[in-house]
Amino acid sequence: MIREALLDLRAQAAQRCGIFRLMALVPPALAHLWLTGAAAVPALLVAVSVALSWSFLFAELRGRGPLLAGLVPALLLVLFAPPESALWQLALALTLALVMGELIFGGAGFDFLSTGALALAFLTFSFPGLALGAPGPAVLWAALPGGGLLLLSGLAPWRVVLAGGAGFAGFAAMFWSLSPGLIGPMLFALVFLAADPFGAPVTAPGHWIFGLLVGGLTAVLCGPALPGLDMGAVVFAVVLAGIFAPLIDASVIAGDALRARLRHG
């Protein structure tokens, strides 16, 4: 009984978080549609349909209400996917990310990786000829209010974004070169991909470590592409760092416990 109540509370928190993240992504998605015209409409319809279909199916199987959080990776996939992507490729990548990365674990709030980053990773790794696109200025300006609200509300850990930007800038400037034009796309990726409240660590020190890991890995993997930004490298860095997120939290908690024992004898 208690376990079911806790699961319901976590699912409700994930639902509210997903709604706010979805609201933050709607303006940049509309800006993307305005820039690309009718060409992006089929991709958006397919992504939304796939996300809702899997969410409703697993909601029926578990007897809990459907989660709208699946629409977040759907919009991220549409924003970053190259225009030459086939609709079935988008549907397959999103299906693999939602089912294998989120729904089989209990849905949003029970996963440990950024589902949006996972969908983009499946797309680029399964179809190597597809290169992810970086959001343009209009999309970035449209994302600014929503991204700012996510950071202020804590739904996107600001420490992850700050540490990620610092790690990327430091490594890029140290070994290659850094263009000011990379700041916007990198911040967008950090806010909406890396600073996933259920994919990043939960401890404050873990946020700093995770952000530095994402930023440093991105700069290293982007090396040949700098001063440009390879979004595939950003996605791979987020997924790779996300695998270590539980270990980062466990190490931080163990360190705090050790310091407490030493302090109190």
Please indicate whether residue 2 or residue 35 has the higher confidence score (pLDDT): 35
> In 3-state terms, the chain is what percent helix, strand and coil (to 5)?
80, 0, 20
Q: pLDDT by residue (tens digit) across 14-42?
A: 667 778 888 999 999 999 999 888 788 99
pLDDT band for position 238 (50/70/90)? very high
Rounded to whole angstroms, how far apart are CA atoms 115 and 108? 9
Amino acid 161: pLDDT: 95
Amino acid 32: pLDDT: 92
Q: pLDDT by residue (tens digit) across 58-79?
A: 877 776 655 677 889 999 999 9
pLDDT band for position 265 (50/70/90)? low
- Sign of the torsion angle spanned by Cα atoms 175, 181, 184, 186: negative
Mean pLDDT value of segment 196-201: 83
Amino acid 58: pLDDT: 81
Percent of the chain at pLDDT above 90? Answer: 39
SS3 for 63-110, per residue? CCCCCHHHHHHHHHHHHHCCCCCCHHHHHHHHHHHHHHHCHHHCCCCC
Q: Quick one: which of 248, 219, 99, 70 has its CA closest to 159?
A: 248
Residues whose CB is less than 8 angstroms from the CB of residue 232 and which lie 6 or more positions away in sequence, other chains included: 120, 124, 131, 132
Tell me the pTM. 0.87
Mean pLDDT value of segment 208-214: 95
pLDDT at residue 222 greater than cutoff 90: no
Q: pLDDT by residue (tens digit) across 128-162?
A: 888 898 888 999 999 999 999 999 988 899 999 99
* Helix (H/G/I), strand (E/B), else coil: 113: coil
Angle formed by the axes of helices 41-62 and 2-36, nearest 10°:
170
pLDDT at residue 105 greater than cutoff 80: no
- Span of 43-47, 205-209, 212-216, 230-234 with lowest mean pLDDT: 230-234
- Sign of the torsion angle spanned by Cα atoms 8, 12, 13, 18: positive
Amino acid 9: pLDDT: 46
- Span of 11-20, 27-36, 51-60, 165-174 with lowest mean pLDDT: 11-20
Rounded to whole angstroms, how far apart are CA atoms 151 and 167? 19
Mean pLDDT value of segment 215-220: 90
pLDDT at residue 8 greater than cutoff 70: no
Amino acid 11: pLDDT: 57
Please indicate whether residue 222 or residue 33 has the higher confidence score (pLDDT): 33
pLDDT band for position 94 (50/70/90)? very high
